[in-house]
Amino acid sequence: MKPWRRAASAVLSVSALALALSTGPAAAKEAPFTFAVIGDVPYGDAQIANFPNVVNQINADPDVKFVDHLGDIKNGSTVCSDTYFQQIKSDFDQFKDPLVYTVGDNEWTDCHRPNNGGYNPLERLAAIRQVFFPQPGRTLGQHSVHVVSQADQGYPENVRYTRSDVAFAALHIVGSNNSLAPWTGNTVPTKEQAAEVAGRVNAVLQEIHKTFDAAKDDHNKAVVLLTQADMFDPTVANPAFADYSAFQSIVEAIAKESATFGGPVYLFNGDSHVRNSDKPLDAGSKWLSFYGVSTAAPNLTRVTIDGSTDVNTWLKVTINPGDKDVLSWTRVPFTS
């Protein structure tokens, strides 16, 4: 080979290598990634009728690559029927992107109420799992993808996944004191009720620890936790610990893991229906003493999404791995 051809070949080889490095797995890991967060929707007949339009609007956004629904697929005073579950599942099936659904209290915990049909909540929970988690370890939506599931422990709704160098965990934590609020006709939780809560809390704690362990091992830039329950409800002026007691061990675990993580941690929740962004476990926060937690976590940011009958936006969240805060978000008005 002539010298000039050998030199040209070397330049091409170096260029090809540089291109491969800039477009390979490492580059993809650092690329921006946008996902949508919704929850506490649809509530009532008007929102139920409009929900397919919400799905279509999110589908039409070319930036969105993933969708998270934070639970409460109905309001707290309507019937928890199989027919309704199937209707919402059909709507979920229309999402073009992968959908992770985090279970809410309105679709099972509160179904003991007479206006909800007077169901046994545990029977409704079994129905929710059957309808919405037909393939454990796979997301919903038309482009189903793999997620790490706790299905082998009986909790297919608890899942973990990583996107753009951020570790995610969807955790089954619900309102009504995480399902410890007494059912209709009772003044204290039943034995089966208390046993369900204890088992689910234990599974959630395992998932929290595994999420942070993996994030540390993989040197992820941030951690995102997705829940239905608002464990730091700003709408309650004088919260009683008895109404939040089932969250105590979970809050303690989140605080300790966040404090040792070293990067930003984000907790997205619904439940209280008030748009909010704060730092509930920062030094000086009333929630530290409320839960008896000694470890402050100033790197934890909590974001409450829009929801309930007044919902008129969805949350568009973008991961920018190169930014200090990693996540940024904007509320997008519904177009219909």
Write the pLDDT tens digit of every residue in 54-96: 999 999 999 999 999 999 999 999 999 999 999 999 999 999 9
Between these two residues, 273 and 164, which has the higher pLDDT value?
Answer: 164
> What does the pLDDT read at residue 31?
79
Over residues 243-270, mean pLDDT: 97
pTM above 0.75, yes or no: yes
Q: What is the pLDDT of residue 336?
A: 66
- Across-strand partners of 135? none
First to last CA, the chain: 67
Residue 92 φ then ψ, to 5°: -60, -35
Residues 167, 164: Cα–Cα separation, whole Å: 9
Supply the DSSP symbol for 151.
G
Tell which residue, 223, 317, 274, 228, has the closest CA to residue 39: 228
- Residue indicated by tokens 């610990």: 241
| 298 preceded by a cis bond (ω within 30 of 0) | no
User: Measured between alpha carbons, how far is 13 from 17 in angstroms, rounded to an integer?
Assistant: 6
23, pLDDT greater than 70: no
Contacts of residue 90, defined as CB under 8 A and 6 or more positions apart, other chains included, come to none
Q: How far is CA 45 from CA 153, 214, 336, in A?
A: 36, 42, 15
Closest to 306 in 3D by CA, of 330, 325, 279: 330
Closest CA to 135 of 98, 168, 87, 186: 98
Residue 122: what pLDDT? 98
- Whole-angstrom Cα distance, residue 224 to residue 277? 14
Cα–Cα nearest to 175, from 314, 26, 40: 40
- Class of residue 50 by CB neighbours under 10 A (exposed 0-12, middle 13-18, buried 19+): middle
Interval 151-172 mean pLDDT: 98
* Cα separation values, 292 from 207, 230, 308, Å: 22, 17, 31
Cα 222 to Cα 91: distance, rounded to the nearest angstrom: 31
Residue 29: predicted pLDDT: 58
170-197 average pLDDT score: 97
Which of 180-189, 202-211, 310-319 has the lowest average pLDDT?
A: 310-319
Q: Which two tokens stand for residue 125?
A: 């929970």
> What is the band of 309 on the pLDDT scale with cuts at 50, 70, 90?
confident
Q: At what angle do helices 248-261 and 191-217 cross, to 10 degrees?
A: 0
How much is the pLDDT for 15? Answer: 41
Residue owning tokens 């650092």: 30
- Percent pLDDT > 70 in the chain is 91
